[in-house]
Amino acid sequence: MKTLSRWLLKESIIIPLISVFVGLLIGAIIMLFGGYNPVEAYQALFKKAFGNIYGIGETIRTITPLIFTGLAVAFAFRTGLFNIGAEGQFIMGSLAAAYVGIMLDLPAIIHMPLAVIVGGVVGGLWGGIAGYLKASRGVHEVITTIMLNWIALYLSNYLIREYLIEKGQQKSVTLAESSWLSFAFLTDMFNNARIHFGILIALLCAVVFYVILQKMKQGYELRSVGLNPHAAEYAGINVKGNIVKAMVVSGMFAGLGGAVEVLGVTHNVIILPAFQGYGFDGIAVALLGGNTAFGSIVGAFLFGFLSFGATGMKLGAGVPFEIINIVIALVIYFVASRLIFKRLLNALNVNKQEEQ
Residues 283-321 have pLDDT tens digits of 989 988 888 999 899 889 988 898 888 888 888 888 888
Strands (E), the chain: none
**Structural domains in the chain, sorted by start:** 37-342 (1.10.3470)
Q: What are the distances in angstroms from CA 121 to CA 94, 251, 252, 281? A: 11, 8, 6, 22
Q: What's the distance, CA 199 to chain centroid?
A: 12
Contact assessment for residue 262 and residue 98, using Cβ atoms and an 8 Å cutoff: yes
- Alpha-carbon span 252 to 112, nearest angstrom: 17
Q: Supply the pLDDT for residue 344.
A: 65
DSSP symbol at 356:
-
Q: Supply the pLDDT for residue 115.
A: 97
End-to-end CA distance of the chain: 14
Name the residue among 100, 72, 65, 94 with its Cα closest to residue 153: 94
Name the residue among 299, 265, 121 with its Cα closest to residue 193: 265
| β-bridge partners, 172 | 165
Q: How many residues can be counted in the chain?
A: 356
Residue-wise pLDDT for 101-158, tens only, equals 999 999 999 999 999 999 999 999 999 999 999 999 999 999 999 999 999 999 999 9
Q: Supply the pLDDT for residue 3.
A: 52
DSSP symbol at 170:
S
- Alpha-carbon span 276 to 149, nearest angstrom: 11
AA identity, residue 27: G
Q: Is 291 left (phi over 0), alpha (psi -120 to 50) or beta?
A: left
Contact assessment for residue 202 and residue 60, using Cβ atoms and an 8 Å cutoff: no
User: pTM above the 0.75 mark?
Assistant: yes
Contact assessment for residue 150 and residue 85, using Cβ atoms and an 8 Å cutoff: no
- Residue 25: in which H helix or E strand, if any? helix 14-33
CA atoms within 13 A on the CB side of 159: 14
For 171, the 3-state DSSP assignment is strand
AA identity, residue 204: L
For 16, other C-beta atoms within 10 Å of its C-beta total 21
Contact assessment for residue 27 and residue 327, using Cβ atoms and an 8 Å cutoff: yes
Give, for all 356 residues of the chain, the pLDDT tens digit.
Answer: 445 445 444 445 566 677 778 888 998 999 998 888 999 999 999 999 999 999 999 999 999 999 999 999 999 999 999 999 999 999 999 999 999 999 999 999 999 999 999 999 999 999 999 999 999 999 999 999 999 999 999 999 999 999 999 988 999 999 999 999 999 999 999 999 999 999 999 999 999 999 999 999 999 999 999 889 989 998 999 999 999 999 999 999 999 999 999 999 999 999 999 999 999 999 989 988 888 999 899 889 988 898 888 888 888 888 888 887 888 788 778 776 766 666 666 666 656 555 65
Name the residue among 98, 73, 246, 263 with its Cα closest to residue 149: 73
Q: What are the distances in angstroms from CA 229 to CA 28, 135, 232, 238, 255? A: 45, 12, 5, 9, 27
Contact assessment for residue 288 and residue 299, using Cβ atoms and an 8 Å cutoff: yes
Contact assessment for residue 80 and residue 226, using Cβ atoms and an 8 Å cutoff: yes
- Alpha-carbon span 92 to 73, nearest angstrom: 16
Contact assessment for residue 115 and residue 101, using Cβ atoms and an 8 Å cutoff: yes
